[in-house]
Amino acid sequence: MFPNTTITCIEDFRRLAQWRVPRMFYDYADSGSWTEGTYRSNESDFQRLKLRQKVAVNIAQRSIRTRMLGADVAMPVAIAPTGLTGMQHADGEILGARAAEKFGIPFTLSTMSICSIEDIAAHTRQPFWFQLYVMRDRDFIGRLIDRAKAAGCSALVLTLDLQVLGQRHKDIKNGLSTPPKPTLANILNLMTKPRWCLGMLGTQRRTFGNIVGHAKGVTDLSSLSSWTAEQFDPGLNWNDLEWIKERWGGKLVLKGILDAEDARHAVDVGADALIVSNHGGRQLDGAPSSISALPHIVEAAGKDIEVWMDGGVRSGQDVLKAVALGAKGTMIGRSFLYSLGAMGEAGVTRCLEIIANELDITMAFCGRTDINDVDRSILLNPQIFDKPGQA
């Protein structure tokens, strides 16, 4: 039975994406590592925070506009960097970037994207952010940074929590690859996804656009597979950030912070923002949820750096709770991917509308009219995550 396409929340997008996106790529987005415990707690821990309803307050004029990295944004939300986005929907990164630009929020392109840095620059007018993985091939990384600068990217988001790859059981069982290998199981599954297949037939972007033709010796799918298996650098350490920061020369954001000591390191190296993140529960299973880690990271970081968070944000209420606990911004990954896989650019636009509307209405119920004035007092139990690791 075809699912109802009346979309009222992010869960509606998830169900529709599951219907329309090939199994291996849907599972890639909708899964965590090992037991998926951290993946699930990213969402469930938001529900433990209870909101304080206020009445008889003048809420006629409200604003959810704020600033991230010194730039005006329509709401404290940015699209997170997500790998293989162009496999959720043909030209997915381009569609996401255009929707974000029109809505007035930042878009972040992943190193492991299907569409390249140059593709995004050619299809947008406003600067976007670029997310960097540090590989063993430092010459390639240097050139990747230079390409981001040439494309006018306004921030470099350096991901620190993927020195080794978490074990993601669904990806292993599905034999994840891009494009899908022509196995019988994959062919049978693709036959049930005609909308996706037609989109892919209409584009030539079907592999990692930032890597193929740019990394030495990577010219096809076979050489790409062996290159990526060897390239994530377990030797990455805080000392490496100096040359990256110098080569980049612009706004630097550090992603993957869950520990107070690491937050202080982020301040010491001169980062402009840090992101409290457990990689969507896809790396260290058993790590704390992002929202539960947020308060002690905010405390440790102080006022010298912007603190954002990602992981489990599925609604405007989640955004409001994160802001109440001290986040200056949030990032959405799966919410973005579900909406993109379900309905393309129109889906991403609708996703952002839903989150903005939920944020605005919930803020009003809490008796606040400006997102920049929201603090812990809108929560009935803000202390539940004050002890590190408490959940």
List the catalytic residues: 279
Instruction: Kindly state whether residue 202 falls inside one of the protein's structural domains.
Output: yes
Query: pLDDT per residue over 17-26, tens digit each?
Result: 999 999 999 9
Q: How sure is the predictor about 174, in pLDDT bands with cuts at 50, 70 and 90? A: confident
CATH of the domain at 175: 3.20.20.70
Instruction: Kindly state whether residue 390 falls inside one of the protein's structural domains.
Output: no
Give the lowest-confidence range in 39-43, 121-125, 208-212.
208-212
Query: pLDDT per residue over 136-158, tens digit each?
Result: 999 999 999 999 999 999 999 99
Residue 3 above 60 pLDDT? Answer: no
- Rounded Cα distance, 293 and 296, in Å: 6
Instruction: Kindly state whether residue 32 falls inside one of the protein's structural domains.
Output: yes
Instruction: Kindly state whether residue 326 falls inside one of the protein's structural domains.
Output: yes
What residues are designated binding site for FMN? 81-83, 110, 131, 159, 255, 277, 310-314, 333-334
What residues are designated binding site? 28, 81-83, 110, 131, 133, 159, 168, 255, 277, 279, 282, 310-314, 333-334
Q: How sure is the predictor about 1, in pLDDT bands with cuts at 50, 70 and 90? A: very low
Q: Which domain holds residue 347?
A: 10-385
Residue 300 above 80 pLDDT? Answer: yes
- Rounded Cα distance, 258 and 227, in Å: 29
pTM over 0.85: yes
Give the lowest-confidence range in 6-15, 49-58, 179-188.
179-188
- Rounded Cα distance, 382 and 319, in Å: 15
Residue 223 above 80 pLDDT? Answer: no
User: What average pLDDT does this structure show over 59-88?
Assistant: 97
Residue 389 above 70 pLDDT? Answer: no
- Between the alpha carbon of residue 97 and those of residues 102, 103, 191, 203, 337, the distances in Å are 9, 10, 29, 17, 12
Place of tokens 């007092």: 377
* Residue 364 or residue 216, greater confidence: 364
Instruction: Kindly state whether residue 36 falls inside one of the protein's structural domains.
Output: yes
* Side chain identity, residue 89: H
Name the domain count of the chain.
1
Distance of CA 211 to the CA centre of its chain: 20
Residue 388 above 70 pLDDT? Answer: no
Q: Can you give the pLDDT at residue 228?
A: 72
> 316-324 and 334-365 helices cross at what angle (nearest 10)?
70
Distance of CA 382 to the CA centre of its chain: 25
* Residue 371 or residue 181, greater confidence: 371
Instruction: Kindly state whether residue 168 falls inside one of the protein's structural domains.
Output: yes
Instruction: Kindly state whether residue 2 falls inside one of the protein's structural domains.
Output: no
In the numeric block, which tokens belong to residue 202?
A: 């209409």
Instruction: Kindly state whether residue 83 falls inside one of the protein's structural domains.
Output: yes
User: What average pLDDT does this structure show over 62-71?
Assistant: 98
Q: How sure is the predictor about 220, in pLDDT bands with cuts at 50, 70 and 90? A: low
